[in-house]
Structure 1
Amino acid sequence: MAEPVRVQALTERYLHGALSISNKFVGAGRKRLCCLIPLSLLPTPMSEFKKLYATEDSLSASAVAVRESDDKVVGFVQMTDASMKRDPFGKCLHPSCEGECYIEMMSVLPEMRGQGIGTRLLQFCETWARERGAHKLTLGVVARNPAKHLYERFGFVECESNTASACCNSLCVFFLLGFPHWGCGATMMAKNLLS
């Protein structure tokens, strides 16, 4: 039986829980910088994480899933739009366009997956994007990531890319993450919010 979980905008109260989920997500599995250094050895410090959420706008664009029984953060989604301050790494991977909200990362603790939490976090993102007047919601998904099925069920479709873009994308993912799901590259996905 699924445990009761609430999804809400990120607040300072849940920054530590969100950072923990973020670091677990980045350090999970076979993610390695240049295929050598496990990303689990490079966690984001709280001081840097707090800088990302220095404004009310940046807090409201991200959400946490909180288990009711113990007030523990079990899921986290980080989203931005073109008007928001972003870290240089995120800007490099995906420069945001006007009218677009971009999901930087989303993760649910492994023991809580399959309970609809990822869908609820995506619903939060879509609602927030529509309130901002965005016409599309986008995200990147690493090759062979099982979460791609969740995104497709939610209405995301793969964006077309040319050969040069796909090659550049594959190289960037390789150098930044290695082969986290034993696949090469990543795909951009988008959901049209105008229809």
Structure 2
Amino acid sequence: MALQLTPASDHDLDFARNLTRQAMLPYYREYDLLWVEQAFDQAWGWREQWLVTQGDTVLGFCSLSQDRQALFIRELHLLPAHRGRGVGAWVLETLAQWSRQRQLGFLRLMVFRRNPARGLYQRHGFVEMGEDECFVRMQRVIDQ
């Protein structure tokens, strides 16, 4: 059955928040950052929210925003059972297509420095544009 990005609704907020917290809390602790659920909930209202699905099964979710130049991946999280199976790669390629369709020149994201997903992003054409003590900024040029 084919993978899809399905619009998320407010009913999916708890799932998305819990999945994000579960995936990111170890990094927040490592870098002595404070996880603020209210900040996640506020961003839910102004970002594009998508569930990663296969049939009726929810595999994860992603959160997007955009400006005049780029589509930004704000969150991309998969349930542990669906990691390492090509789902993340499919999402990245789908979002690159969306960037092209929206006539945006870049697909951008930030990732914790020690997050192994950096390798996935690099394999899919993202290059590192800068970093600070916690995060690496990455982007992929989208050919029009």
> Aligning the two structures, in what range does the TM-score lie when normalised by the shorter sequence?
0.7 to 0.9
Q: Rg bigger for which structure?
A: 1
**Identity of matched residues, %:** 25
Q: Which residue of 1 aligns with 2:71?
A: 101
* 1:64 lines up with 2:59 in the alignment: no
Supply the distance in 1 between the matched residues of 2:33 and 2:93 (Cα, whole angstroms). Answer: 36
Quick one: which of 31, 35, 52 aligns to 2:32?
A: 35
Q: How far apart are residue 22 of structure 1 and its match?
A: 3.7
Supply the distance in 2 between the matched residues of 1:132 and 1:6 (Cα, whole angstroms). Answer: 21
Q: How far apart are residue 114 of structure 1 and its match?
A: 1.4
Report if aligned partners of 1:7, 1:120 keep a CA contact under 8 Å in 2.
no
Report if aligned partners of 1:21, 1:109 keep a CA contact under 8 Å in 2.
no
Root mean square deviation of aligned Cα: 2.9
Supply the distance in 2 between the matched residues of 1:46 and 1:107 (Cα, whole angstroms). Answer: 14
Q: How far apart are residue 45 of structure 1 and its match?
A: 9.2
Structure with the larger strand share:
2
SS of residue in 1 equivalent to 2:115: coil
The structure, 1 or 2, with the larger RCO (C-alpha pairs under 8 Å, 6+ apart) is 1
Query: Which residue identity does 1:51 align to in structure 2?
Result: G
In the alignment, structure 2 segments of 5+ residues that lack a partner are none
Quick one: which of 122, 138, 142 aligns to 1:189?
A: 138
Q: Which residue of 1 aligns with 2:45?
A: 51
Report if aligned partners of 1:18, 1:73 keep a CA contact under 8 Å in 2.
no
SS of residue in 1 equivalent to 2:103: coil
Report if aligned partners of 1:18, 1:64 keep a CA contact under 8 Å in 2.
no
SS of residue in 2 equivalent to 1:119: helix
Q: How far apart are residue 152 of structure 1 and its match?
A: 0.9
State the number of aligned residues. 142
Q: Which residue of 1 aligns with 2:11?
A: 16
* 1:6 lines up with 2:8 in the alignment: no
Report if aligned partners of 2:17, 2:40 keep a CA contact under 8 Å in 1.
no
Query: Which residue identity does 2:59 align to in structure 1?
Result: V
Query: Which residue identity does 1:190 align to in structure 2?
Result: Q
Supply the distance in 2 between the matched residues of 1:121 and 1:128 (Cα, whole angstroms). Answer: 10
In the alignment, structure 1 segments of 5+ residues that lack a partner are 83-97, 171-184
Structure 2 CA distance for partners of 1:138 and 1:34, relative to 1, 3 Å: closer
After superposition, give the CA deviation of every residue in 1:115-172 in whole Å (9 maximum; x if it has no partner). 111011112211111111101111111111111111111111111x4xxxx4xx32xx
Q: Which residue of 1 aligns with 2:118?
A: 148
Query: Which residue identity does 2:15 align to in structure 1?
Result: S
* 1:74 lines up with 2:44 in the alignment: no
Supply the distance in 2 between the matched residues of 1:36 and 1:187 (Cα, whole angstroms). Answer: 16
Where do 1:169-184 residues align within 5 Å? 169-170=132-133
Query: Normalized against structure 2, the TM-score is what?
Result: 0.79
